[in-house]
Structure 1
């Protein structure tokens, strides 16, 4: 159309309107022609793949990928034409025609989107998706978008398996369709299909993994044996769910809706797909924490806490969207409640030790059940020192005397120091209770043997477990000295009558009558001590040998000197030979040997416990 200035030059105005030429018909511009061409191209492809003309078994994206790309380009061209026509004349018949074509195209793409999701369930499983890094996905995305002919990704080019190859191409197809539908204003239709398909996959996966939607009342009514099995199952499930299922779903969602306009859609899709399963999964530990708290539940509670603590960074990364904040909150809440439960059980443990009031002495002066229970409990607790440091932070406790214990980590690691001092305090409470239990024995030597046995048990348990690392060498050395002190007092009191039956100087000159009297007294005292102590025992074989070796070495030395000096002339009453002393001593302190503490039994118990954990 000529501009106004040109028209003033070539066309002279006439005073008579009847002489004016008819208005010129609108001239078509290059843009008009281009848009018409876009519509015509789109119409050919869109009508070709119309449901009414294409068998249901035939899919656009299962054929030649070049044609699928042409179809998406045609939709893009149709969209440009529609935008142009709206600006020119929003009521034109051409625009109506274009709109009808777009609706038909979106219907086809929606069907293709569904078919790709449905037919590639195995290839789009989270495990397969997770194995490919984001770098791999970008490489494939660039490769697919830049290649104009038939797409063929070989194993040599990307070093991927056939399953991974199909998976990545399916992801690219979904991404291309989603971008086309969203940019055309049909995002809701695309999202609806995606959520329905992927949510069913996630829910089905969680179901097969064993995730149940239990209420608090249902969990609280479960027997502990049943609940423990569910906890063990949960510990396995959370590993798969966080590391593979939710992670893979997030990768897939972010990739399919990777365009600028699709990022918010990716967030809403992922939240809708995972929220039910994730809240149910991460809510289970909170319900366990609210169950009745008994000592045997402590370690499973710690297993749950440790698992959430380990996976929390991944949980926060995977569920980083604002719309999934409730899932992050649920995981944190469960961890807090589990920590509260552990603190309550630790306090209850200390209270139970202080209230222990049994009045029956342990037969033979062996290891008290309280000592065994608490030390085994603390040994297992030490395996969780990493999480216990956080759990017991700022938990009030009675102050330890500086002279009794000072944590070796007080300066370099205050939180670990708190844990060390709490464990040292619990052991001190046990040892104080044992002092009271020792008074139940009528024989003083027996009470010292009881204290030596129990202190030795404590030392061995600490030395052969992580308790040794927490309490430090100074603590161990101090309590080893206490073991030797108790053993020495037992030896002195328990064998004083035997030693005093011999002259203070065994080599001194004695009359035959005096020598015979000493032999009689020694024989009677020695056999009485052996008879009495035959019912006593030391549970640690090595410790028992050390005690008997100490007694034998001192007794044999003194008796040998006396025997060699006085054996002549005292044959009628002379006792046993010095070499027989060891034989007689072999029969003492052996009753109840099955309760021994050895490195084998200790390590076996610890290994058994750890094997039952996650």
Structure 2
């Protein structure tokens, strides 16, 4: 680095080092006498030559800005005065010998300032790191606010705070001093026509810091083809590295560099713009280019990978105000374009995976029906998927905004409860969620036909829709679908349960007398008992395999069935038990027994019906069938 920046120049006596008019701009209306110029040259020679590394061993090993800050300020002031005098003199006599002497001194001074600029940047890397720079203002405001409100009762705690604050303050002081020194040198060199030399040092050192920072965050430059060949586990690790690093990169690395660059080159908007752009452009494009390359390959991956794409989209979009503010220069527009392209590609990828997810539901070809009409694995998978998607509702709302929803002809109004009016269109994300659930329910309708017992088909539909409703109620999906959607589908669950009850237990209910049992003859009563025994045992044998996984729905269904059977049977039983005293085989079940059998339904069983046994008409301690809970 020293060889690059501090190589000896040719002798100032050479014609190539005569002062160039392009270096100096005349100041109208000013005139400089020979005596005044001579005085300025003598003062400048004494100050500048002391720090000429080519002629002074002391200057070669000593830092001007570290040795004596007052002398450093005098050095800068002297150079500025010399530069102003040369500006004035060049308009009077561009071939003046004093301009040659001044130019020689200026080159020595600029060489010295280059060295000092390099040393400050190099030796203060720890104090000029982006984290320290980006935190300066917030720390300062915190410190001032805490010191203004002290109380005697808090002295012990405040003492610890002051000790910590002093440590932070020391770091900040070094940082502030270094930044102010860099600014003073930069302004001096730029005003003297040596901006190129100053910027060369700054760009090389600070770009290396940015590039190193990006690398330490685990973000590497990767092409789309490299990602395409990468194993998913390895790619996911790279994605996680990117996700954990992107916030730090924006809020600390790039923000810190912008603050430092704005401070050091505050005197020139064009210089600080070009400088910041050159330092950060490559690292920022690597950072914001990674999601685009990933997105191009995610479309061909399982829909389950959609959440990684949503995470990356959220990481960029949530920090967009900061990104737009930091890279606000025209010269950094390529960085903003890259970030926008990544958002576009990630959005395309998410929409493609949602479409693929719908296709997966429609193509599901599993033949086995859950035993007892339970919840299908497809239902569990889809609702778990949608529950996680609902947590990304804000991101999905952006991605799906303006994206064509399913055609209205394929959205039954009764299903979605969408108004005919176009004045209140449902958000695209809500339509998409409702549509995916409809696709699932249509698939479940097909799967319900796998049951030979129609009543079990309805129980299957009730179980699965209840699972869907429960998941919606307990997730962010309820805010997308709305309370009306939940209420409507709870009503559908009740309808499915009622159909199951009608088909599964209708014959049992029909076997009981509709009129008052007191009006029945003994023979009619006997026939009624026979019919009830046959239908109850047949229904119990078939329905004992049934399972209802939701506890609330299970209790509601058992109560509804028991209300229609046990009460009527009890009245019939009480009226006829006396005259049927000798018919033990005919009067098999006491009302309590019937109630016990019904209360043990919907936990699943072997379906053999072997646990259903006869009891005496007076038995109230009937042994209940065993139940297997699933």
Give the structure-2-normalised TM-score. Answer: 0.81
Aligned counterpart for 2:468 among listed residues 446, 458, 462: 458
- How many pairs are equivalent? 545
Higher mean C-alpha deviation, range 192-201 or range 309-318: 309-318
The correspondence for 1:304, drawn from 292, 309, 312, is: 312
For residues 40-61 of structure 1, give each alpha carbon's deviation from its aligned partner in whole angstroms, at most 9, with x where no partner exists: 1111111112223325542111
Distance 2:339 2:86 in 1: 48
- The residue aligned with 2:64 is 60
Q: In the alignment, what sits opposite 2:407?
A: 398
Residue 36 to residue 131, structure 1, CA distance change in 2 (3 Å): same
Residue in 2 that maps onto 1:332: 340
Structure 2 residue corresponding to 1:373, chosen from 378, 381, 393: 381
Q: Does the Cα contact within 8 Å between 1:409 and 1:417 map onto a contact in 2?
A: no
Change (3 A) 1:134 1:299: closer
Q: Which runs of 4+ in 1 moved over 6 A?
A: 134-137, 154-160, 408-413
Q: State how far apart, in whole Å, the 1-side matches of 2:414 and 2:484 are.
A: 12
Correspondence for 1:557 among 559, 567, 572: 567
| Aligned with 1:127 (options 124, 128, 131) | 131
* 2:416 aligned counterpart, secondary structure: coil
Q: Is the 8 A contact 1:434 1:451 kept in 2?
A: yes
| 1:287 is the counterpart of 2:276 | no
SS in 1 for 2:518: coil
Deviation at residue 424 of structure 1 after TM alignment:
1.5
Whether the aligned pair in 2 keeps the contact of 1:60 and 1:68 (CA below 8 Å) is yes
The yes-or-no answer on 1:568 pairing with 2:578 is yes
1:583 matched residue in structure 2: 596
- Deviation, 1:242, is 0.6
How far has the Cα of 1:575 moved from its partner? 2.3
Match of 1:185 among 167, 184, 193: 193
* Whole-angstrom CA distance in 2 between matches of 1:277 and 1:402: 51
Q: Give distance in 1, aligned partners of 2:433 and 2:457.
A: 26
Aligned to 2:34: 32
Mark the CA change 1:410 to 1:390 in structure 2 (over 3 Å): closer, same or farther: farther
Alpha carbons of 1:112 and 1:89: their partners in 2 closer, same or farther (altered >3 Å)? same
Matched residues in 2 for 1:253 and 1:243: separation?
Answer: 15
Displacement of 1:30 in angstroms is: 7.0
Unaligned runs of 5+ in 1: 1-28, 138-153, 593-614
- Displacement after TM superposition at 1:287 (Å): 0.8
In structure 2, relative to structure 1, the CA distance for the partners of 1:30 and 1:344 (3 Å cut) is closer
| Partner of residue 538 from structure 1, selected from 548, 552, 559 | 548
**What secondary structure sits across from 2:312 in the alignment?**
helix
What is aligned with 1:347? 355
Query: C-alpha displacement at 1:485, in angstroms?
Result: 0.6
Q: Distance in 2 between matches of 1:358 and 1:562?
A: 47
How far did 1:89 drift? 2.6
Task: Please report how far the alpha carbon of residue 63 of structure 1 lies from its aligned counterpart in structure 2 after TM superposition.
Answer: 2.7
Aligned match of 1:90: 94
Cα pair distance change 1:31/1:93, threshold 3 Å: closer
Over the aligned positions, Cα root-mean-square deviation in angstroms equals 2.7
Q: CA deviation at 1:160?
A: 6.6
Query: Normalization by structure 1: what TM-score?
Result: 0.83
Q: Tell me, which stretches of 5 or more residues in structure 2 are unaligned?
A: 1-30, 142-161, 606-630
* TM alignment of 1:399-548, pairs within 5 A: 399=408, 400-407=411-418, 414=425, 417-505=427-515, 507-548=517-558
Assess if the C-alpha contact under 8 Å between 2:265 and 2:271 holds in 1: yes
Kept after mapping to 1: 8 A contact 2:32/2:88: no
Check 1:475–1:343 CA distance in 2 against 1; reply closer, same or farther (3 A cut): same
Q: Deviations over 1:123-152 (max 9, x none)?
A: 111111111239979xxxxxxxxxxxxxxx
